[in-house]
Amino acid sequence: MTTPPPYYGPPGGEPAGMPAAPSNTQGLVGMILGIVAIPLVCCFYLGIPLGIAGAVLGYLGLQKANRGQATNRSQALTGVICGAVAVVLGIGLLIWALTAGQNINWEDITNNSGN
């Protein structure tokens, strides 16, 4: 009598008892976008949408880390913080730029430009 060959499970599946690989992509991308968004606030206000994306992806990555599906909690938290800082700086800079033009006396500039 011959013994059957051992059963190794379906191809490509996780071995029995082995946890799934961590999914760290959202936290990592959130951190990258959040960090890049801060200096881009001054350049055409690109930091506002990048900061929002970084904060959202960082938050989603933070939720995964809290559930145990990811191992990069600090990267995700960095994405949330840097993204929020970029959004606040961008909105503050936008408000400052819109209100600074109101303090200029344009009549003096146009009347004295011919002299």
Per-residue pLDDT of the chain (115 residues; tens, 9 = 90+): 788 887 776 666 555 555 678 889 999 999 999 999 999 988 767 899 999 999 999 999 999 999 999 999 999 999 999 999 999 999 998 888 888 766 666 666 666 655 5
Is residue 99 included in any domain, yes or no? no
Is residue 71 included in any domain, yes or no? yes
Cα(69)–Cα(94) distance, integer angstroms: 38
Is residue 69 included in any domain, yes or no? yes
Cα(45)–Cα(87) distance, integer angstroms: 9
* Number of neighbours of residue 37 by Cβ within 10 angstroms: 28
> Which range of residues forms the domain containing residue 53?
23-86
**Which amino acid type is present at position 2?**
T
Is residue 14 included in any domain, yes or no? no
Which residue, 70, 54, 53, is CA-closest to 62?
Answer: 70
Structure tokens at 21: 């690989």
Is residue 4 included in any domain, yes or no? no
pTM: 0.71
Q: Structural domain tally of the chain?
A: 1
Is residue 59 included in any domain, yes or no? yes
Is residue 30 included in any domain, yes or no? yes
CA distances from 59 to 9, 38, 47, 108 (A): 36, 17, 17, 50
